[in-house]
Amino acid sequence: MERAPGDVTGAALLRPDGLMIASVLPQDTDEKRLAAMGAAIVGTSQRTCDELSRGDLGEIIIEGSVGKATFSFAGTKGILAVLSPKDVNLGLVLMEVERTADKVKEVMEK
């Protein structure tokens, strides 16, 4: 995520079972809570895609009143979570999320 520093306020790599692997997050962010909720959100979203025959899950974007949270699979062993401000250029963030998730997948699935 090094290419979008002004557009990203935090990033984390989670395991699908809800545990944190690594993170660079704002001080007021509860890492354990983010990991558990992120895994639950991604798991539920993938099941929804399966049940509705929508194919593989892409990115999940949650838009709140002060910012966004984006979640994406990074292979089968990781979930990338990215926090960004409300007025972010979402297209640039999504490009960087995809690029980073691909790199993480490469490393984790060796």
pLDDT at 7: 81
Q: Over pLDDT 70: what percentage of the chain?
A: 95
Query: Which of 69, 67, 65, 85 has its CA nearest to residue 37?
Result: 69
Confidence of residue 6 (pLDDT cuts 50, 70, 90): low
> Could you give the domains of the chain?
10-108 (3.30.450.30)
Query: Which of 31, 33, 61 has its CA nearest to residue 45?
Result: 61
Residue 80: count other Cβ atoms within 10 Å of its Cβ: 26
Backbone φ, ψ for residue 84 (5° rounding)? -145, 160
Q: What is the pTM of this model?
A: 0.88
Distance (Å, whole) CA 65 – CA 63:
7
**For 73-110, what is each residue's pLDDT tens digit?**
998 999 999 999 999 999 999 999 999 999 998 898 87
* Cβ atoms 11, 1 nearer than 8 A: yes
Cα Rg of the chain, angstroms: 13
